[in-house]
A and B are shown apart, each in its own frame.
Chain A
Amino acid sequence: KAGVTQTPRYLIKTRGQQVTLSCSPISGHRSVSWYQQTPGQGLQFLFEYFSETQRNKGNFPGRFSGRQFSNSRSEMNVSTLELGDSALYLCASSLGQALGALHFGNGTRLTVT
C-alpha cells in the first residue's frame, strides 16, 4: 500500500505570495490532518478534514485554509505569506476513528524569503 504523498517536497516563496500544498492519503483513509513543524514550536496542529468536512481546527490565522476532495486528497493554502510561515508542513492520514494512529507524509519544506 502506498504511503502518504505530499507535493511538492520543497518550495521557495516570497513574502506576500500565496502557496498551495497537496496531500494524497493512504488508500481508504478518510481523515487528513495538517501540521506545521518548526524548530521553535515543534508540531502544531493546523486542521483536520474528514469526508470533505473540516472536523477540527487549530489556532492559526485565517490565512491558513484547507480543503478535502471526494477522493480524500487534501490541499492546504497559505495566503499572504510571512517570513514566520517558513516551516515543514506535514500531512497525516488515518481511518478517522478515535485511537487511530496517524500516518505522516515526509512533508513540504516551505521557505519564505
Chain B
Amino acid sequence: SQKIEQNSEALNIQEGKTATLTCNYTNYSPAYLQWYRQDPGRGPVFLLLIRENEKEKRKERLKVTFDTTLKQSLFHITASQPADSATYLCALMEYGNKLVFGAGTILRVKS
C-alpha cells in the first residue's frame, strides 16, 4: 500500500543547531514533493517544492533534498530558532492537483 512516513516522535533541538526532518514514501512515483509548516490552530503554510530531477533546493535557512532511489526527502533548518517550532508536513503530488500529506513531525527548538 502507499505510505508517506515522517518521524512520529517530536524532534527537540537546541537553538542554533540544525534540525533534520525525514520524509519516506513507498509505492509512489511523485513528480515532486512539497514541505509545509503548520502552527497550532492554523492551516499549513507552503515552504518549498522540489522536483524529482532536483537533488537539492535551498531557501534562506531551509534546505530540502530529494532522493528518488531511496524514496526519501530530508528537510533541514540551519541555525534553528524557537520561532521555528511547529509541525512540518511533507506532501507528494499523487495525480492532478491531489496532494497527499504525511502525518507531520513536531519540531521544538529550545533556547
Contact = CB atoms under 8 A, between A and B. Distances in A.
A98 interface: yes
B interface, size bucket: 20 to 34
B97 A48 contact: yes
Contact of A55 (B36, B97, B102): B97
Contact of B46 (A48, A50, A103, A106): A103
Contacts of B102: 42
Contacts of A100: 97
Interface in B73-111: 89, 93, 95-104
A31 B97 contact: yes
Contact of B43 (A4, A31, A96): A4
Nearest to A109: B41
B62 interface: no
Interface residues of A, number: 26
B45 A45 contact: no
B44 interface: yes
B96 A55 contact: yes
A101 interface: yes
A11 to B, nearest CB: 15
A35 B45 CA distance: 14
A90 B38 CA distance: 12
Nearest to A104: B43
B49 interface: yes
Interface string A95-112: 010111111111100000
Interface of B: 31-32, 34, 36, 41-46, 49, 51, 89, 93, 95-104
Interface of A: 4, 31, 33, 35, 42-43, 45, 48, 50, 55-56, 58, 90, 92, 94, 96, 98-107
